[in-house]
Structure 1
Amino acid sequence: MKIKHLILALLLSTIAFAETIDRVVAVVDKQIILKSELDAQLQLYAIQNKIDLSRPGFRDTLQSQMLDRMIEDKVLLVEAERDTSINITNKDIETALTTQIENIKAQFASEDAFLAQLRAEGLTLKELRAQYRDEVRNQLLKEKFIQQKLEKVHISSGEVKEFYETNRDSLPEKPAGVRLAHILISTTPGQATQDSLRQFAQLIRSKALSGDDFSTLAKSYSQDPSSVDGGDLGWFSRGAMVPEFDTAAFALQPGQISDVVRTQYGFHIIKCTGKKEDKIRVSHILIRLTPSDEDLQAKKALADSIYNLLQNGVNFADLAHQFSDDENSRDSGGELGWYSADNLMPGFKEALADLDTNQVTQPVSSDFGLHVIKLEERRVGSPIDPKEDYDTLAEMARRQKTQKQLEEYITKVSAGMYIDKRL
């Protein structure tokens, strides 16, 4: 099994084991920590940090340290639960949950590979979301609690200087990096393709209205991962979905089917399958906004033309203003700022490898579209400079001070809390 697959399995086991009867290794107030949870976290930590747990005596030491960290985590959760001023909405949870799952999914070669691994673990995507939801909610609660408790952590220039002098020999180097600008040609479908996709969605809706089984239609036509569950999205509250979808879904009564709804993801047909109090359950069919071959060819031709204009001396910033689909950088002439060489998007690093300053790449493909990239500056790795990198040092010092205050707070509240370590 590949490392990323094993990590996913361990993440799932941490959640799944918590639902079974298991040996309790610690109690914090009314919260418990199970041996299986500890084992899963220990294995995950060992894999991520390339640690050999078979070394004599090493596992016991690390296991004890890991349990202490998990107890501290529970202490924070207990305190956060007691704080009635903290409000985590369903929308907050759903947004964070989607982000977390997308991050896991990105570690796989394709969505099909991700779903295949889920099936190997005996789970559907809907079940993963349901099992992972409490974990995400608890994490958001703790983060908000910490932000609220430690929001007044300030760093003086003297503290920054002291931090630098104390840690200068162990500070990481500034990584090699590049300063970039780009012109993005988004590979969104043209109007003719969008019209065709909408008509296709309307045809599927007509089938559903004529009595065809909605679940079967979803399995046959939907391009959303929920298709394997017949399009079922489960129960959710108002505000959990994007606004267009949310409005259309909550306007339905059980058994009703919506008109075709356009969102950033594509065209949806939504069927309400249940309502209770402030929640709703729906199934949907998604037809994604996928560009046609003709659309892609037209976009590629435009990107190639821009590259040729740049080769003939036309100003990069002017072309970015005129053609770039990146709203965040267009008005600044395509400026993207500095990037670590190790954190570039796939394809960027290779395209930039042999470029000199002020040269541009041929069009590079990504999930966002086609990029013509300008290398504005390149820097090699170098030691952190206390003047040039003052803001970076200040943030490092602030994080250290925040961590110290957090540890002091945990020690203080732990003294008045029931904690039973049973390992």
Structure 2
Amino acid sequence: MKITKFIAKSVVLAVLLAPISVFGQGEVVDKIIAKVDDKIILKSELESSYIQFLTSPQAQEFQGDARCALLQNFVESKVLLIMADLDSTFVEPARMDYEMQGRAQQIIQRFGSEEAIYKNYGKTLDQILNELRPSIENQVRMEMQENSILQDVVVTPKEVRKFFQRFPVDSLPLYPVEYEVGVIVKEPDVSEGEKEKVRNKLIALRNKALNGESFEILATFNSEGPSGQNGGNLGFSARGSLDPAYEAGALALKPGEISMPVESDFGFHLIQLVEKRGNEFQTRHILMTPKPNAQDVEDADEFLKDLRDKILADSITFEEAAKLYSDDKSTKTNGGFYIDEFGSLRIPAQRLDPELFFEIDKLQEGDISMPQKIQVGEDAQVSRIIYYKRRLAPHRANLKDDYEKLKAAATQLKKAEKRAAYLEEKMKEVYLDIDSEYNRCGIINN
């Protein structure tokens, strides 16, 4: 399953980067190595993914013929795509926009800047994304098809016990020291005075644009958003894909018009509507985010002191307080607690933020810390209280302490078995031809 996950996450980018990572090392004579109905798999695709795989953490643990495993996954992906075609699996525009933005961020992170991308490829990021769009859409459709197959897979407590009992005691995993830790984070509320300063700055910029200055140049030098370096351009967006306040402000304009300052969850925007096209619209904007002053930060501290007193007095539980008042989106839905990938509240010591671990070391089990200010950006502070619920000593996996982890593992196994059975059945329904060079892989026989 690990190599399957590797394929799903990296194959599109591996193909994209092939001109540098594969062909840059010597010319590869390309050819079709597999056909699945009317869909083909090229040798360059396999070799590119193979090189990417060798540099991944999964390669250290993998045993067997990696090229065969990768080819098997390519074939299975094509089968899933064919089934998605038959089932008319469709990607909504908003989902597609989200995926494209994610790929854009991955590419920028790899190269550092859009200028570096152009230097390596002789193409802009937008040109590369347009070329990748069909492949990314197919990948999403395959994921949707697979999710539809596996969405109803659940395991019962009996199945979890049966899964646990299949392992000899001495082969059960040994878990290190783990902690149950919760936090409540309070972001300072920005005063109306600070907001008014930002509104006035944006109104001044709006007046400049209305008097003939380039909106894009003004955005380049003044916008605090990531799109500022691109003149504030956000490209085309589907209705419902952006912040509701921003979208409402944009769609109230006529093409070419510039809004008054619009407040969203990200700050204040000047919005210029460029074009409307069916269910999509194109905008550019200048974003400014008002900053809290020193008193705002102190007020957040005082709020948490009062909330801590209420928790200690049993007026409200820590979990209830976190869900109602915490500004930490990653933990508030869990009652303020950190959880691992299996949904368990116990976090290994090495996975805790070092600063948080240092603070826990000062507390006793069951303690709630006094509020403390922590830096979350170059010029941003928030206040935080920590609940150190308990420490779990190193132990062998058991049903009492590790049920959620065992349940997740049992569910993953059951999904893998259902996926394999589905693909085995569907592979009988498609035309499959594998180049003789890969006879050793036994894909047709499987």
Shorter-normalised TM range: 0.7 to 0.9
Q: How far apart are 1:202 and its partner, in Å?
A: 1.7
In structure 2, the gaps of 5 or more residues are 1-8, 24-28, 340-344, 438-446
Equivalent residue for 2:257?
A: 256
Amino acid at match of 1:237: A
Q: Residues 366-385 of structure 1: matches in 2 within 5 Å?
A: 366=376, 369-385=382-398
Change (3 A) 1:383 1:99: farther
Equivalent residue for 1:143?
A: 143
Change (3 A) 1:346 1:97: farther
Q: Residues 40-119 of structure 1: matches in 2 within 5 Å?
A: 40-49=48-57, 51=59, 61-84=65-88, 86-98=89-101
**Separation of aligned partners in 1, 2:265 and 2:297:** 20
Amino acid at match of 1:165: Q
Q: How far apart are 1:244 and its partner, in Å?
A: 1.9
Equivalent residue for 1:4?
A: none
> Secondary structure in 2 aligned to 1:417?
coil
Q: How far apart are 1:379 and its partner, in Å?
A: 1.3
> Secondary structure in 1 aligned to 2:55?
helix
**Separation of aligned partners in 2, 1:103 and 1:185:** 30
Q: How far apart are 1:99 and its partner, in Å?
A: 5.5
**Separation of aligned partners in 2, 1:305 and 1:237:** 39
**Separation of aligned partners in 2, 1:36 and 1:159:** 43
Does the 8 Å contact 2:184/2:328 carry over to 1?
Answer: no
Q: How far apart are 1:241 and its partner, in Å?
A: 1.5
Query: Is 2:41 the counterpart of 1:38?
Result: no
Q: Residues 14-413 of structure 1: matches in 2 within 5 Å?
A: 14-15=15-16, 17=18, 23-49=31-57, 51=59, 61-84=65-88, 86-98=89-101, 121=120, 126=126, 130=130, 133-134=133-134, 136-168=136-168, 169-287=170-288, 289-292=289-292, 294-295=293-294, 298-299=296-297, 302-303=300-301, 321=321, 324-326=325-327, 338-341=345-348, 342-345=350-353, 347-359=355-367, 360=369, 362-366=372-376, 369-413=382-426
**Separation of aligned partners in 2, 1:340 and 1:324:** 23
Provide the aligned length of Structure 1 versus Structure 2: 402
Query: Is 2:427 the counterpart of 1:414?
Result: yes
**Separation of aligned partners in 2, 1:189 and 1:319:** 27
Change (3 A) 1:103 1:393: farther
Does the 8 Å contact 1:77/1:142 carry over to 2?
Answer: yes
Q: How far apart are 1:159 and its partner, in Å?
A: 3.0
**Separation of aligned partners in 1, 2:307 and 2:165:** 51
**Separation of aligned partners in 2, 1:186 and 1:97:** 30
**Separation of aligned partners in 1, 2:434 and 2:222:** 53
Q: How far apart are 1:267 and its partner, in Å?
A: 1.6
Does the 8 Å contact 1:183/1:372 carry over to 2?
Answer: yes
Does the 8 Å contact 1:259/1:269 carry over to 2?
Answer: yes
> Secondary structure in 2 aligned to 1:167?
coil
In structure 1, the gaps of 5 or more residues are 1-7
> Secondary structure in 1 aligned to 2:166?
helix
Q: What is the TM-score normalised by the length of structure 1?
A: 0.77
Percent same amino acid among aligned pairs? 24
Change (3 A) 1:209 1:28: farther
Change (3 A) 1:93 1:299: same
**Separation of aligned partners in 1, 2:386 and 2:189:** 19
